[in-house]
Amino acid sequence: MTDVSNKDSNESSATTTPAHLIDKLDQAIALLEAARDFAKVGKLPRVLDTCRRVLLHQDGLSVIEARAEALENAGVFLGSDWAAPQHLVAPLSRHALTGSVDILLIETLSDLRLLAVARGQYRHPLISAEYANQYLTQILAINLDLLFNPPDEARRLHQGRLTFLPQALLEHLASHIGYEQIVDKLIGEIWRVLEQRPIQTGPAKQMITRIAACQYDPEIALTGAGADRLVSSLFGPTRASREDPGLEVYQERLATMDEMTLQTEASGFARAMHDTGLVSAYHPLLLLHLLENQENLLADALGLSSTGRDCMLCYRQLVHALIHQAVTPQTPQSIYGLALMLERGILYQSPLAPALWRQLRLQLCPEAINRLALVSLPDVPAETRLMEGVLCMLGQPLGVGQGNNPTCQSARALSMWSCNDPDYLLQMVAWAARDDEIIMHFEGQPVSSRLAGAGVALSAPIDLDPVSMVVVPHLDRIYAEMGRRCIGRVGDPHRWINPEFHGWWTGRGFRIGVDVQTGLLFETETFLRHFYASYHPFYNGNQPLIHPQPAGIAVTDSAARFIGWHAVTILRVGLDQESVMRVYFYNPNNDSGQDWGNGVVVSTAGQGERYGEASLPFEEFASRLYIFHYDPLEHGVLAAISAEELHRVMTMIQGSWGESRLPETPMQMLPD
């Protein structure tokens, strides 16, 4: 891209964009669209320069917004990170809006495109209006200070005459999304995400920090229910830290506290932590102080029940060692991970304690250290960051996210091992972090991550938790290699990969509702009857699910359009508080609360979900399912499901992802 910041310094600043300039813009867009892909780079500077000149006018944002679809179709984002709006990361907008003119221009065009989608002016093939609205709300939240405050000298120096653009853009976005809804929506969005208890809390903390900065600015009037609880959970959860005094001052205060005051502080920190899933940087100072001076209050500071207290007392020396290595003001989330791990009682599994002692003494290889440097502050040792990640993954098995990476299989495996086989998870971490190699077996033959070819991810994973940063590159290559070893077999390779990749508890029975060769729906009635017989308590003898099972879903957007295949874990099936049979499942996507169209909206709270679970009524989940595993030796009653119920599910399939996959021969209902 060419730098256009200093061109046309005497250009008109009239309120309305001149007609001739709009004509030039339309001509530039047309030329870009007509050019072949390899030649578009030569036409792009003219488009960007004309867009810049249009944006200098007061109605320029509206002019560009009206042409958002045309700009994208012409190829203005071709070859850039903005070409895939479904993968954009909202926190990175901060850099774009405060950076160079060229990056600012592209970010502006992208945000106006999303606004057009959110307002229903542009039906985008990759994102829904709801997604665009949600993303823009995050953009506004992260950049609230740019919305309310004037630009600083650095921005004026780098952005020249376009220094006004970030604030004007945010005002334009807010005027259509609604000023009065920004903070309320933001706060609601933060609480919705936190209810899923993700391991990666960085984005939520960043948004809360922006709210706090605006909240304490006397020139900015912000209101919103729940804001105080979020801000105080990070910056002042207790009486002694209420005014956010700073770490040094709080450390001095701890030295003068008596036991009753320390008890109050411990309870306050624990209450805030378990309320939000966020841990204040002050909390580690208290925990380390109690470890040395008032050990009897450790359980209170962790907010432990009798189960967690007993576990901590039984493994006292190990818990102390974990705190000393993992808990620092830079790694506060380790406290929440430790508390939840103790509450799970998994230390009573005989391999866990020695595996954690090994982890404490593990010598990390240079490759692991380099990967961890991407998610660590410079003054945080890699061992500390990794141990924080280990504690969080053991305490929050359903908080693992795949980030902006096509590695849902690997994220699902880590979550499943943490739930079902935590000592195996620690073995994987040890191999990856110490040896920079993981060896798994596929049908008796070793598969080495070092010798395997490329994985599903074409580039190194990013924006992951510490354990995933170290382990996922290895798992991704192994998963892809297992797929390559299935080439030439008839059927879907997941039939053979999933039991070998995820664990022995994965059912060897396998059903797929799609013909692998044609992509058309295949034996849908039989597929659904088997699923009901295997998982629905009313048809499988009321047998609860014993081990989490991998499954595949056809993801659809809010318009019920097919997006792609996705890996999830079926965790349990049961009645909710309204006696609706629901499937509770784990989704490795970073946010499980999604609208899959035609009324199928995934719930993450309020329907009996535990932290990290997503859920849908059984019929709705079945309507998006295309692969599942089951134990072939445990047979349910296939004929018991009514034709009416199956018809409802099949109608939902045919009205969404299956619409273009209907076989030529009409599907016949099997007899009851």
Under 8 Å between Cβ of 438 and 471: yes
Under 8 Å between Cβ of 405 and 475: no
What are the pLDDT digits (tens) for 252-305? 999 999 999 999 999 999 999 999 999 999 999 999 999 999 999 999 999 999
d(CA 370, CA 582): 43
Under 8 Å between Cβ of 136 and 118: yes
What are the pLDDT digits (tens) for 85-126? 988 888 888 888 988 888 999 999 999 999 999 999 999 999
Q: Phi and psi at residue 424, in whole multiples of 5°?
A: -65, -40
Q: What is the CA radius of gyration of the chain?
A: 27
DSSP 666: P
User: Coil, helix or strand for 544?
Assistant: coil
Q: Which residue has the tokens 């060419």?
A: 2
- pLDDT for 218 beyond 80: no
* Residue 526 CB contacts under 8 Å (≥ 6 apart), including other chains: 670
Give me the pLDDT at residue 153, please: 54
- pLDDT for 442 beyond 90: yes
- pLDDT for 672 beyond 60: no
Q: Chain-wide mean pLDDT for the chain? A: 89
Give me the pLDDT at residue 5, please: 36
d(CA 613, CA 461): 24
User: What is the average pLDDT across 638-662?
Assistant: 91
What are the pLDDT digits (tens) for 541-565? 899 999 999 999 998 887 888 888 9
Specify the range with the lowest mean pLDDT, choosing from 49-58, 97-106, 663-672. 663-672
Residue of 324 and 154 predicted with greater confidence: 324
Give me the pLDDT at residue 181, please: 62
Of 326, 468, 463, 455, nearest to 397 (Cα)? Answer: 468
Give me the pLDDT at residue 204, please: 87
pLDDT range class, residue 220, cuts 50, 70, 90: low
What are the pLDDT digits (tens) for 337-353? 999 999 999 999 999 99
Q: 3-class secondary structure for 272-317?
A: HHHHHCCCCCHHHHHHHHHHHHCHHHHHHHHCCCHHHHHHHHHCHH
Other C-beta atoms within 10 Å of 285: how many? Answer: 23
What are the pLDDT digits (tens) for 168-181? 999 899 888 866 56
pLDDT range class, residue 433, cuts 50, 70, 90: very high
pLDDT range class, residue 157, cuts 50, 70, 90: low
The torsion region of residue 303 among left (phi > 0), alpha (psi -120 to 50) and beta comes to left
Of 422, 521, 514, nearest to 467 (Cα)? Answer: 422
Under 8 Å between Cβ of 305 and 329: no
C-alpha distance across the termini of the chain, in Å: 65
What are the pLDDT digits (tens) for 393-432? 999 999 999 887 788 999 999 999 999 999 999 999 999 9
Of 416, 410, 419, 398, nearest to 469 (Cα)? Answer: 410
State the pairing for strand pair 509-512/549-556.
Answer: unpaired
* Residue 170 CB contacts under 8 Å (≥ 6 apart), including other chains: 97, 139, 140, 143, 146, 147
